[in-house]
Structure 1
Amino acid sequence: MLLVTTFQPAASEEFLELTKSALLAALEALSPGSLFGLATFSHKIGLYDVQGPIPVVKNVFIPPDAESSLPLELEDAMPLLQFLAPVETCKDRIAAALETLRPITSWGRSSGAAQGMDGVLMGGRGFGTAMEALFNYLGSEFGSTFALARVFAFLSGPPDYGRGQLDTSRYGEQYASKRVDADRALLPEQTPFYKDIAAIAVQSGVCVDVFAVTNEYTDLASLKFLSIESGGSLFLYSSTDDSTLPQDMFRMLNRPYAFNCVLRLRTSTEFKPGNSFGHFFPDPQYENIQHIICCDSYATYAYDFEFADNTGFAKHSGDQPVVQIAFQYTVVVPPEGLSNSEMSSSSRDKHTLQRRLRIKTMQFGTAKNINEIYDSVDHEVVLSLLVHKVIVASLENGVREGRALLDDWLVILTAQYNDAFQLVPYKNGNKSISSQIDITFSQCPQLEPLPRLVFALLRNPLLRFHEEGVHPDYRIYLQCLFSVLEPSSLHCGIYPTLMSYSTPDQVAYPRHSLSRAALMTSGSPIFFLDAYTTLIVFYSSTADPSIPFPPPQECLLRKTINQVKQERSITPKLMFIRGGHDDATAFENYLIEEQDVDGSGFASAMGFVSFLDDISQSVAEYMNT
């Protein structure tokens, strides 16, 4: 594998130190035979040659305007094979080169960066030009020098120099006019530039992972295409203080992966694939074929289907519906009998590339009636598809439209269920039927979780309004994260798991609803909340002072936390909160069931119960129209 890292020295000392730590972790996790390239970007691109005794840097200056290309090809500045260093022989030199990196001061940038009228520095992140040049640079050797290239791009703010520079003033202007929907203004990309160069990355065999370490508006809505279309990931860290960037880097490179993947889905003639969801690049020529530059076992892709015509699945046909998935991919195979950890440097050149094809053919029975469909529901899969669809709706028509789509879906499902079980018929003329409507799906256990999950999704930052303080970049980050999670992980991200302990070594209740009432009535002293990206251990203010805080390393609770962290695709943030002593806001914000679905209050009449009443009224109106 080829790993190229790009980041901006024109940033804080803390950002540089965090980036160095992440790259040192990457060096330890890289597989045998990997090549490593180090590049920096600011008002110039710096290419590092670390194969000699002293690191050598060749710089190419970036034109400040958004139209001009580089005056010099990167290959002419430094031949690619000089730029790419074998990790096994150059690890110490790469680490030494990282130590030479220092923040660029305004004095150092003044010779190349654009300046304002009073000499104030304007710009300094020539990210777009650097990425475009780098993809072309690497593409010349794709298939010969390397079979897979991963570009790790580190950003401490928005690109503001050269090609692909972004106008971040729209973040403030979203509130300037009452005629503009603030929830819709910042979701679309402001330029097609990054989507266009993502196509170049795919053609060059490059997977891009973007790591943004910033709390300022960076317009991830425009930058995300580099990652999602090349099979990469988008990470957002609000500060350097508690960032898990080094751990995430190590996890990503230390797990098995496949590359140059092609995914194809076919069906029998009665139905056909509809929409497809995930981080891939659709084939420009053939339908239902996706290209994935790199993926691992956590990568998840979703499809929905539609009937080929209005006959559906013929009742009298003897053939059952068939779905076939073909997945072609390449893996690195070590010499037989040895694991990567047992490799010596002399044996690393014996690794081979193996092209594989897996075909999975599945035959499904068809439901005889609606009740059989309800009995076969997997609520976590339903939630996953709902999340994909509301993300698409939000991007196309705004957050309010995404929320409306979700609300309408639950109303229609509830109405159809009540009619199917003959609880309340359609158009019965009774205007007071809302009290008769079964809003909790009490006769179908498979559907029972759905109202609570829809409520939680409406309360998630993914669909909350800007006026509630949801940062637009955080919303985009969640869209990218949630669109690749498998259903059980996504369930955890939307409706976190809350369990209680009577002691650090004894579980009291394995699952609580996310409500203050549930906590108060349980009487348990310790609670463990898993929200996928965040883990919180909360000690009640009434907990016995003799219970050790934080929980001891060898206790059951700690073992559970460690197991959760080990199984996760990212490194969750771990927090310990002692009620009555520490600020409990971070924990209490997850207790959503007393919160109003629109975020307007915490009154006792609001929350999940009120939400069910509103849905019941909407169902009654729908069934009488």
Structure 2
Amino acid sequence: MHCVCVCVCERERERERERRVYLGFEEGECYCRRAMAVRFTFGCCPGDAQAQEGCGVPWGATITPFAAVDETGSTPAFGKHAQLVPRCESCWAYINALCEMEQWAWTCALCGNLNALSASAAARYAPPHSCPELTSSFVDLELDADGPEAEQNSYTRPVYIAAVDLSASEEFLELVKSALLAALEAIDAGALFGLMTFSHKMGLYDVQGPIPVVKHIIIPADVNEKIAVNLENVMPAQSFLAPVATNREHIAAALETLKPTSSWERATAAGQGGEGVPMGGRGFGVAMDALIDYLSAEQETAFTFARVLAFISGAPDYGAGQLDTRRYGEQYASKGEDADKALLCEQTPFYRNIAAMAVQAGICVDMFAITNEYIDLASLRFLSLESGGSLFLYSDTDETTLPQDLYRMLSRPCAINGVLRLRTSPEFKAARVYGHYSPDPQYENIQHIICCDAYGTLAYDFEFTDSTGFSRNFEAPPMIQLAFQYTRIMPLGESDLLGSTVSSEGEKFSIKRRLRIRTMSMGVAKSFKDIYESTDSEVVLSILTHKIIEASLEEGVREGRLLLHDWLVILTAQYNEFYKLAQFGQPSTFSRLDAAFSKCPRLQPLPRLAFALLRSSLLRLHEEGVHPDYRVYLQSLFSALEPSYLLRAIYPVLSSYSTPDKQAYPRHSLSRAAIITSGSPIFFLDAFTILIVYYLSTADPALPFPPPQNCFLRDTINNLKQTRHITPKLLTIRGGHDNVEPFERYLIEEQDVNGAPTGMGFVSFLDQIGQDVVRYMK
């Protein structure tokens, strides 16, 4: 399917262009796929807690705070003076288009409280009013700058720091160099760039000259010591942070000087002989601690936002924050411990504490691990996830997408220093929040997101505040309001929908603090049928995935598998009981049981999605060969994906083509039967991080292989690669000539694929669920 933004007239084209610039999108870039700002597990709320528990479907929502458009495809209404928007005196919700207005008062749509309007607010909202907050339920409002400090801080620059592991191979450093050269092309020319290296010592680079100058600081080997000297005294920030516009070539020259730390240097630092010393001496923890301290001290005067790009080739094994990799092995089996549970627990709170410091200073940390060895991402992940960053894992340096991923990440517009709050009607509340954020240390239900792009998504679990639910007031529909306050850094000279500034310097930035408000009303279900027939299976999968990840972290992978299996059993039982399909306790119960949800199309995908989730590496056991770091990477990836992308990652989309220019069927089940019976010679599989074109061995030899550049299939592939925030790999496989295992392992509905030869196929799985339902209802 092609994604096309269409404007019906020249005026609309101009408005569309202004919206793109306001949101920070490049000319020609399509943002239609970045929809669905708020999605619910079902279209109407359960009436009370008994109905919520009885329906079996989790009640929640996914929210993409910085999505370019809302779930209807509409862009926000823009305006100024966000600080003038009145707030409810009872629940602190913002006035919105769903509120009842009077001349001198307004009734809060969320809690029903009557609030007085000041004289200035009454004049502002007097008819005919055109204030965006009363004409649209989705608004983006700019906060006015306050005081002389606002003017002083309005021209600071974003900062990017590359922290490079020198306890690595030549291949690793060549890949990192390529990635950083791509990064320099992605970031604004007026941004500041710093280069730091680490091994058994730190290196700070001054790249503001034709010959780079590096100053080294020895990292203490003791796990309880920090670097004794302040990095500011080693190299002042004005020397360390170089403007990209005037130093691009100097930075590139400095990158060429990066060499692996020799074994002799590492051995000398460790007090050992040089012969046979393994790769190591990686003082990553001390280096990151010192860097965050350094940037925190400069944050108020040198920059508004800093992003650290950390490249690591192995586990930290030197100084404070070092991790013991010996725990990954066979020892758990001999001790009777659950390896899956143990290997998901952090060894030390060291990196979680550094993350807290980064959040306090408004510093985002992205971590790129390039290794096939165990490095304990379970301990390292907090550094990225809680600071609003991303965690990437690449198993080797060959055919990696690191340069493309880094370029895409840094070229996307992002909201920084975000503060998110979800308010609801008083009858219910958000009980749990899932995703990449840091909770506010003082106030409940406030999430801090240091860096958030148009793809970052959080999930919420809802629950009732009391047993009465919505039964006491059906005239006031359930409401939610999303309030997201964030900052955008925009180069001066870019046209802004809220005002235009012209600058020829190209190296100064305007800081805009904005408030995004999205208010929505929902209906109340009269029966389970309303819930079942309005279920969004993609959002249900997202909520379930978050719950499973949390259960795996707290109780182990086996507990996560059990939780998912039991949920499907209970849902199947409650569905059959509601539709009166089976008389439980009767001999004919099993034969009449409907485990495929054939009476409700909205529920039909759920057994297949649950089966796929059970078969994924997220929930496969340690003894089945799942690497613990890969599991942590999947947890990180899945917990931030928008539901439609998560669906592709867990249950890939398989389509078929009669020719490269003609699609035959848009979707097949992931089974061999679908391949055999379709009659199509070409199949295309979208598994989110990988795209596979598969030609059957019986395909007509006259069909062009691989698909030519100007065909429909190739256009589809290119569009998918363009709209993904993670660069998918493309494989083209020809049956009878190439290894078909990379394609066939995605046929997960078969019994003997995906490394589980003793597992069960999807048909057997449904049969097992039916038997468990009968036992459950006895």
In which range does the TM-score fall when normalised by the shorter chain?
over 0.9
Q: CA deviation at 1:113?
A: 3.3
* Equivalent residue letter for 2:764: S
Q: Report if aligned partners of 1:424, 1:437 keep a CA contact under 8 Å in 2.
A: yes
Query: Structure 1 residues 213, 577: closer, same or farther in 2, change over 3 A?
Result: same
Q: CA deviation at 1:109?
A: 2.8
Which residue matches 1:191? 348
- Matching residue of 1:612: 766
- In 2, Cα distance between equivalents of 1:157 and 1:250: 23
Displacement, 1:338?
4.7
| Aligned partner of residue 513 in structure 2, secondary structure | strand
Which residue of 2 is the match for residue 2 of structure 1? 159
| Residue 553 of structure 1: how far off its partner (Å) | 1.1
Alignment-derived partner of residue 337 in structure 2:
180
What CA distance in whole angstroms lies between the structure 2 residues aligned with 1:449 and 1:133? 49
Q: Which amino acid aligns with 2:582?
A: V
Number of the residue aligned with 2:328: 171
How is 1:419-430 mapped onto 2 (pairs within 5 angstroms)?
419-425=577-583, 428-430=584-586
Query: Match of 2:569?
Result: 411
Partner Cα distance (2:329, 2:493) in 1 = 59
Shift, 1:229, TM fit: 0.1
CA contact (8 A) 1:458 1:597 kept: no
Matched, 1:57 2:214: yes
Contact 1:461 1:470 in 2 (8 A): yes
Amino acid at match of 2:386: E
Judged with a 3 Å threshold, the aligned counterparts in structure 2 of structure 1 residues 623 and 116 are, in CA distance, closer, same or farther, namely farther
Aligned to 2:702: 546
Q: Percent identity?
A: 65
State which of 208, 212, 223 in structure 1 corresponds to 2:365.
Answer: 208
CA distance in 2: counterparts of 1:116 and 1:218, whole angstroms: 25
Partner of 2:555: 397
1:532-543 counterparts in 2 under 5 A?
A: 532-543=688-699
Determine helix, strand or coil for the equivalent of 1:527.
strand
Which shows bigger deviation, 43-52 or 69-78?
69-78
**What is aligned with 1:148?**
305
CA RMSD of aligned residues (A): 1.9
**8 Å CA contact 2:313, 2:370 repeated in 1:** yes
Distance in 2 (CA, whole Å) between partners of 1:524 and 1:290 is 49
Paired position in structure 2 for 1:497: 653
Aligned to 2:448: 291
TM-score, L = length of structure 1: 0.96
Which residue of the other structure, out of 216, 219, 237, is the alignment partner of 2:376?
Answer: 219
CA distance in 2, matches of 1:72, 1:176: 45
Moved more, 172-181 or 317-326: 172-181
Does the 8 Å contact 2:420/2:483 carry over to 1?
yes
Partner deviation per Cα, 1:573-614 (whole Å, 9 max, x = no partner):
1111111111111111000111269964278xx400000000
The amino acid of 1:535's aligned partner reads L
- C-alpha displacement at 1:297, in angstroms? 0.1
Tell me the residue number matched to 1:35: 192
Deviation string 1:236-259 (CA, Å, 9 cap, x unpaired) is 000100110000010001111110
Letter in 1 for 2:771: Q
- The Cα of 1:268 is off from its aligned counterpart by 1.4
Match of 2:67?
A: none
Q: Name the CA shift for 1:518/1:301 in 2 (closer, same or farther; >3 Å).
A: same
Per the TM alignment, residue 184 of structure 1 is displaced from its structure 2 partner at its CA by 1.5
Q: Which is further off, 521-530 or 344-353?
A: 344-353
Match of residue 288, structure 2, among 131, 136, 139: 131
Correspondence for 1:250 among 375, 384, 407? 407
Distance 1:438 1:357 in 2: 48
Following superposition, the deviation at residue 435 of structure 1 comes to 1.5
- By relative contact order (CA 8 Å, sep 6+), the higher-ranking structure is 2
Q: What residue number does 1:274 align with?
A: 431
Unmatched 5+ stretches in structure 1: none
In 1: Cα distance, 2:490 partner to 2:172 partner = 36
- In 1, Cα distance between equivalents of 2:279 and 2:175: 25
SS at match of 1:224: helix
TM superposition shift of 1:536? 0.7
- 2:671 equivalent to 1:515: yes
SS at match of 2:599: coil
1:426-453, Cα deviation, whole Å (9 max, x unpaired):
xx42254111111111111110100000
The Cα offsets for residues 205-224 of structure 1, whole Å up to 9 and x where unpaired, read as: 11000000000001000000
**Runs (5+) with no aligned partner, structure 2:** 1-157
Query: Residues 64-123 of structure 1: CA distance to partner in whole angstroms, max 9, x if unpaired?
Result: 121111121211111122100000011110001001111221123333235379773573
Deviates more, 1:228-237 or 1:430-439: 430-439
Match of 2:642 in 1: 486
Name the amino acid aligned to 2:704. P
